[in-house]
């Protein structure tokens, strides 16, 4: 079952989601090809264990133009005839992935966080109704499928491998888009998506003044402070620290949650963390459904005792 991955990159750097796609592709079996669509494809190294071939597709210099990427992907798919095409579920890929699937008549699913093979069929798992329901979509053999995979749902494939390299000729694309400038998002003092240890606080902390206590605790135990949406909606913290569907998707080694009930939108952003520890006074809180360890206790008492240990 041949798999084609489209590498995602920005400002000359391959984004981590590309290597996560390689891991997902390896689970499906079959040869794995990574297409690098850029004005200078050789400058972007996508070699990873499990990659059999890298295809360089050179396009006119541009930061990102959806119709250029769409034309390039359509051309590669027509030539290679892959059975599965994988893209990241990102702002960039959403701009052209669905259009390619519609134009070429491919099976399609977005925000996929699980893939598998059953016989000759491809099974994609994704959420519906605000993550209240998970469903498996079956794509039978004989029809290629294009999937947009959720970032952080897979571990990045490790470096290594010696894939074959080839070139794909692309006719000039008459793009109607014109790249003017890249405006960087406002810089934050933290990137919670790369943190290995997150201490996350929610509505249960009660008052804004209590945030300082958890900032101090996070510093003591070597954690990065994160928050749930109510804290951001109240204006107490910036959304750079927000975990959830409308914030950041995280996958730290340890996720320590204080006073977070576990709304489905929040769980969607953190439930793949390696170890989840929850503290909440409500024994029925949904956060306990995904937690590996939990304490039904007053969060301030637990925080004070934890601070004494370090």
Q: How far, in whole angstroms, is CA 119 from its chain's centroid?
A: 27
Rounded distance, CA 201 to CA 199, Å? Answer: 7
* Alpha-carbon gap, residue 246 to 266, rounded angstroms: 9
Model confidence over 13-72: pLDDT tens digits? 999 999 999 999 999 988 999 999 999 999 999 999 999 999 999 987 765 678 889 999
The three-state (H, E, C) secondary structure of 220-266, written as one string: HHCCEEEECHHHHHCCCCCHHHEECCCCECCCCCEEEEECCCCCHHH
User: 79 pLDDT exceeds 90?
Assistant: yes
User: Rounded distance, CA 279 to CA 295, Å?
Assistant: 5
Per mean pLDDT, which of 57-71, 85-99, 171-185, 237-251 is the most reliable?
Answer: 85-99
* Angle between helices 66-80 and 97-104 in degrees, nearest 10: 40
E-strand stretches of the chain: 3-6, 9-10, 13-14, 32-38, 53-58, 84-88, 107-118, 121-128, 133-139, 145-149, 164-168, 197-201, 224-227, 254-258, 275-280, 293-296
| pLDDT tens, position by position, 146-199 | 999 998 889 999 998 899 999 998 888 877 777 777 776 665 568 898 899 999
Residue 247 CB coordination number (10 Å):
22
**Residue ranges of domains in the chain:** 3-168, 192-308
- Residue of higher predicted confidence among 91 and 47: 47
pLDDT digits (tens, 9 = 90+) for 268-295: 889 889 999 999 999 999 999 999 999 9
Could you tell me how far CA 305 lies from the centroid of its own chain?
35
The CA-CA-CA angle for residues 40, 167, 176, to 5°, reads 55
Global confidence as pTM: 0.74
Compute the average pLDDT of residues 97-126: 94
| Whether the domain at 3-168 and the domain at 192-308 fall into the same CATH topology | yes
CB 137 within 8 A of CB 26: no
CATH architecture of 3-168: 3-Layer(aba) Sandwich (3.40)
Virtual CA dihedral for 94, 290, 135, 35, nearest 10 degrees? 30
Domain at 192-308, CATH homologous superfamily: TPP-binding domain (3.40.50.1220)
pLDDT of res. 63? 57
| Cα 84 from Cα 5, distance rounded (Å) | 9
* Cα–Cα distance, 286 to 206 (Å, whole number): 19
- Report yes or no: 58 and 42 within 8 Å, Cβ to Cβ: no
Do residues 165 and 187 make contact, with C-beta atoms less than 8 angstroms apart?
no
Check residue 181 and give its pLDDT.
73
d(CA 99, CA 94) in angstroms, rounded, equals 9
Query: Strand 107-118 to strand 121-128: parallel, antiparallel, or no bridges (unpaired)?
Result: antiparallel
How many other C-beta atoms can be found within 10 angstroms of the C-beta atom of residue 72?
23
DSSP 288-299: HHH-SEEEES-H
Q: CA 126 → CA 121, 139, 145, 155, 229, distances in Å?
A: 16, 13, 15, 18, 22
């Amino acid at each position: 079952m041949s798999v084609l991955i489209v590498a995602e990159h920005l400002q000359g750097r391959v984004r981590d989601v590309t290597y996560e796609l390689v891991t997902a592709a390896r689970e499906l079996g079959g040869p794995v090809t990574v297409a690098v669509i850029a004005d200078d494809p050789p400058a972007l190294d996508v070699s990873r264990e499990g990659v059999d071939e890298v295809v360089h597709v050179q396009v006119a210099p541009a930061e990102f133009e959806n119709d250029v990427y769409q034309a390039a992907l359509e051309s590669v798919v027509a030539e290679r005839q892959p059975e599965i095409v994988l893209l990241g579920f990102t702002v960039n890929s959403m701009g052209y992935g669905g259009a390619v699937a519609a134009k070429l008549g491919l099976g399609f699913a977005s925000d996929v966080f699980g893939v598998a093979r059953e016989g000759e069929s491809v099974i994609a798992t994704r959420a519906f109704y605000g993550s209240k329901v998970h469903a498996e979509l079956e794509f039978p053999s004989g029809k290629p499928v294009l999937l947009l995979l959720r970032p952080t749902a897979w571990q990045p494939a490790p470096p290594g491998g010696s894939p074959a390299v080839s070139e794909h000729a692309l006719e000039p694309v008459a793009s109607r888009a014109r790249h003017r400038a890249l405006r960087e998002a406002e810089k934050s003092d933290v990137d919670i998506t790369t943190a290995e240890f997150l201490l996350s606080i929610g509505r249960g902390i009660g008052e804004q003044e209590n945030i300082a206590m958890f900032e101090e605790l996070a510093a003591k135990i070597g954690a990065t402070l994160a928050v749930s949406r109510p804290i951001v909606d109240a204006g107490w913290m910036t959304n750079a620290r927000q975990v959830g569907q409308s914030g950041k998707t995280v996958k730290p080694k340890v996720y320590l949650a204080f006073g977070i009930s576990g709304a489905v939108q929040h769980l969607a952003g953190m439930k793949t963390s390696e170890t989840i520890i929850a503290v909440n006074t409500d024994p029925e809180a949904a956060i306990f459904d995904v937690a590996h360890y939990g304490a039904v206790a007053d969060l301030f008492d637990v925080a004070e005792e934890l601070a004494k240990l370090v």
